[in-house]
Amino acid sequence: MLFHMEMQRLNVTGGDISKEPSESGIFRHVRFPRQRCLVVLVLLSVWVLMIFLVTNLVTLHTSLTPFWQLGGQGETPYTNNSEREFFSPYHVAYPQSYQFILDEPDECHDQSPFLLLMVPVAPGNLVAREDIRRTWGNESMVLGQAVRLFFLLGLPSGEGAERLQEEVLLESRQYHDLLQSDFKDSYFNLTIKTMVMLEWLASRCSGASFAMKIDSDMFLNVHNLVHMLIDPTTPKSNFITGKFSLNNRAVRDRTSKWYIPAKVYPNSKFPPYLLGNGYVFSIDLTQKIVEASKHVRAIFLEDVYLGMCLKHLRVVASNPPSSTLFKLSMPYIHNRCHYSTVITTEMDHVSDLLRVWQDLQSPGTSC
């Protein structure tokens, strides 16, 4: 626009302009007096510079704006009080001193269970907790081994948080199986939830033999799990197993749920790790991983971070006795044999767990 206005001005004031239209209507040859040509070039340069500055300022603002303010995940930030520094949700505030609001500190004092089942779950997901209590979470003695169930929660947030917290307190008084710490319960804080779980196990139940972290949308065959753990060939220390993930690359697509900035995790690939929906480990690893976390920068991908800590410890996860024990999804057509032979399977819907469990408990051959 500025270019054509200047050309018209030159023509009106008698500038020496010789023009010959081309097929496209653009001047093929244009001759300007030297001074006026310089003016045009200066105006063009200023115009280009302004576009460059505006574009880069917008880009800089976007890159420095926390993702929750860009509409990415609807998260709110938290503050590291010791440094008075704002963190994006991709920076995890761990290690840090978190306190338990709900605790069951005496559960392992009199007699340590053989196996602890630890289920991270959102405070508002009462349906999942009730279904687990009615199914695989109801098994307290399996193959002569004591099994104990706990749910791990953070703090509720948003509208109705105060009412929800009161309901959680009532639920805790009824069942005595809730552990709640003072961090915000959110997707980006799953690493904090996992590490707080390990802290609790190390400080409250170090006399147990094994623990399993398992998501609330999973089917668990506790009998098969205990059978694997009591096998003489199963290591009793530095042991962890589950479903492996190998050669996974860090996701750099900002629209992805698993996006992680290069400034948070600079490597292009993740170390080998076990999928976070269900893995079992010897209890001695809990304190070792907590100690390793002091030397490994935390990221919000909790299963990847556990793999990073294990790599720091030079602990290699064990392959399960069979690759079919830890399954990612339930069969398309209900198959009773499937559930009687696996350890874990992810459920498609909440109602699937009750249906599968009731069928597995009914009379008839298991497979």
Domain ranges for the chain: 2-64, 105-320
Top-confidence range, 250-259, 307-316, 320-329: 307-316
* pLDDT tier, 45 (very low <50, low <70, confident <90, very high otherwise): confident
Alpha carbon of residue 331 to chain centroid? 25
Phi-psi region of 26 (alpha: psi -120 to 50; beta: other; left: phi over 0): beta
Residue 47 pLDDT: 75
Residue 34 pLDDT: 61
**Looking at 53-57, 132-136, 288-292, 355-359, which range is the least confident one?**
53-57
pLDDT more than 90, % of the chain:
65
Residue closest to 281 by CA, chosen among 201, 362, 358: 201
Tokens of 190: 């799953």
Query: Is 29's pLDDT higher than 60?
Result: no
> Do 209 and 281 form a contact (C-beta atoms < 8 A)?
no
Chain segment 154-192, per-residue pLDDT in tens: 999 999 999 999 999 999 999 999 999 999 999 999 999
Residue 336 pLDDT: 86
Q: Which residues of 223-235 are buried (b: 16+ CB within 10 A; e: fewer)?
A: ebbbbbbbeeebe
Query: Is 61's pLDDT higher than 60?
Result: no
Residue closest to 207 by CA, chosen among 113, 107, 105, 144: 113
**Looking at 14-18, 53-57, 64-68, 101-105, which range is the least confident one?**
64-68
What is the 8-class DSSP label of residue 137?
Answer: G
pLDDT more than 70, % of the chain:
78
Indicate the class that CATH gives domain 105-320: alpha beta
135 versus 57: which is more confidently predicted? 135
Averaged pLDDT of the chain: 83
Residue closest to 175 by CA, chosen among 150, 194, 199: 150
pTM across the whole model: 0.76
* pLDDT tier, 223 (very low <50, low <70, confident <90, very high otherwise): very high
Residue 52 pLDDT: 63
> Do 148 and 231 form a contact (C-beta atoms < 8 A)?
no
Show Cβ contacts of residue 268 under 8 Å, excluding neighbours closer than 6 positions.
Answer: 249, 250
Show Cβ contacts of residue 107 under 8 Å, excluding neighbours closer than 6 positions.
Answer: 148, 150, 204, 205
Residue 70 pLDDT: 30
